[in-house]
Structure 1
Amino acid sequence: MPKRILQPDWALPDNVGAAFTTRQFGNVAAHVNDDPAGVVLRRRRLIRELAIARPVAYLAQQHTRIVSTWPVIQTPSDGIIADQPGAACAVLTADCLPLLLCSRDGQQIAAVHAGWRGLASGILSRAVAQMPTSPAQLMLWIGPAICQNCFQVGDDVRDSFLTALGDVAVNRHFSADQDRWRADLPGLAEHQARVLGIASITQSGLCTSCRSDQFYSYRRHKDCGRFASIIWRKS
């Protein structure tokens, strides 16, 4: 039986927790034509099952490069950073990248939603820049997202990353597919993180499209829910 809530294979400080939900847990997004009462109940159940002390901060995600600082949530925003005990931050995805960040001392956490637009426009670099911790002291988890084999894109996407990351990243993480391209979104995120100075990077290795039985995938089913990736400070 598939698990409803999973924990990343990611070594974290004792005072920090992280988890991500699956399709079996149910949709936790309020913007996908689901019953609002059902979404609220699932969000409350998630807090109880993870024993999180405070309500989880969810974002109004719109593929921006705006980063909020907990507990003040800007609308819209696609990233959130926090440094207070009890803070809990989440992003909702269904093919886009969920990126969780934590400082080695467990004082700083962040959650970032990065589709190709957000990643190319610098949402990850903006979040890292707003964290007071040196990038060398940060750890990054790259959660379930669409893999290169499943992510077919046009020249516009490749050109955006040429501008943002340059030839080396594009040549390594794009492969030709007749008149289209296959883009390695998790690989592009890792490349950008290493350029920023983050050395400790953990890839989930899970594809939302390949595993649409386990995760929601917008590319496979446009009318779908979203799963949550959450990071929180226990103390």
Structure 2
Amino acid sequence: MIDLLRPVWPAPSHVKALITTRQGGSSAAPFHSLNLADHVGDDPVCVARNREQLARECRLPNSPFWLNQVHGCEVVSPESANPGCEADAVYSDRPDRVCAVLTADCLPLLITDRLGREVCAVHAGWRGLAAGVIENAIQRFQAPAKELLVWLGPAIGPAVFEVGDEVRDVFLGYRREAGQMFTANRPGHWLADIYALARMRLTDAGVGFITGGDYCTLTQDRLFFSYRRDGVTGRMAALIWRE
């Protein structure tokens, strides 16, 4: 049985949103057990079995629209792009289109509007976050930003996400107040709060409701894959669709 996380938010009931954990699949170590990525070296048979189990247990209306994520800011739609295209967010305003991103420390965001007419899944590592993937995703919506609901899924936590001066400088270039989201750790290195950095950009964009940001993929090893912790590892999936 797959172990899932779901947002607590005021979305209409016909909007379905979830994030998998690492529990409940078929993959062997170091991908144990619910690895959903086919690019990390796992047995393809196990990945296919895990994806079939995901579709069955979550009653997905269609196969997820998987991306080739490149830590950029491109947003695509299943109606105009091909599965496996290079992008880091997928948006749809049509029913039964399952938008999906894969993560293992980067921040997944799930977005819908209060009427549940549009949905989007976003993969935001620090590079994509700095490049504007969140802003690009919001711009795809017809609904105004104040009507959007955003859930921040599991990412690497602020107590362990160490980055160098060059990363902090990128965010300071966006807004000096971003410096408050970094804590000095050792010379030339900082602990970054990717949740706070995302909330700042969402707030600046006028988003009306933001929730989530309560987990740490690196320290909660029983629940989550973590690339920074393990190197060779699996990926969780963040999915959203409307019926």
TM range, smaller chain = over 0.9
Aligned pairs, number = 231
Deviations 1:143-183 (A, max 9, x none): 0000111101101110111122x111x22211111211110
User: 1:23 aligned to 2:22?
Assistant: yes
User: 2:195 pairs with 186, 192, 196, which one?
Assistant: 186
Q: Percent identity?
A: 40
> What TM-score, normalized by structure 2, do the two folds share?
0.91
- Which residue does 2:61 correspond to in 1? 53
Q: Which amino acid aligns with 1:171?
A: G
Is 1:139 matched up with 2:149? yes
The amino acid of 1:208's aligned partner reads: T
Matching residue of 1:217? 226
Q: CA RMSD in A?
A: 1.4
List runs of 5+ in structure 1 lacking aligned partners: none
TM-score by length of 1: 0.94
Counterparts of 1:122 and 1:105, CA distance in 2: 25
Counterpart of 2:162? 152
For residue 29 of structure 2, what is the aligned residue in structure 1?
none
Secondary structure in structure 1 of the residue aligned to 2:57: helix
SS at match of 1:187: helix
Are 1:96 and 1:113, in contact at CA under 8 Å, matched by a contact in 2?
Answer: yes
Q: Which amino acid aligns with 1:89?
A: C
1:192 shift after superposition: 0.4
Q: Which moved more, 1:177-186 or 1:67-76?
A: 67-76
SS of residue matched to 1:139: strand
Amino acid at match of 1:124: I
Summarize the alignment of residues 63-142 of structure 1 with structure 2, pairs less than 5 Å apart: 63-73=71-81, 75-142=85-152
Task: State the alpha-carbon separation in 1 of the partners of residues 207 and 118 from structure 2.
Answer: 14
Aligned to 1:219, what secondary structure does the other structure show?
helix
SS at match of 1:144: coil
Q: Which amino acid aligns with 1:228?
A: A
Q: C-alpha deviations, 1:46-85, integer Å up to 9, x for none?
A: 1111111111111110101110012333620000100111
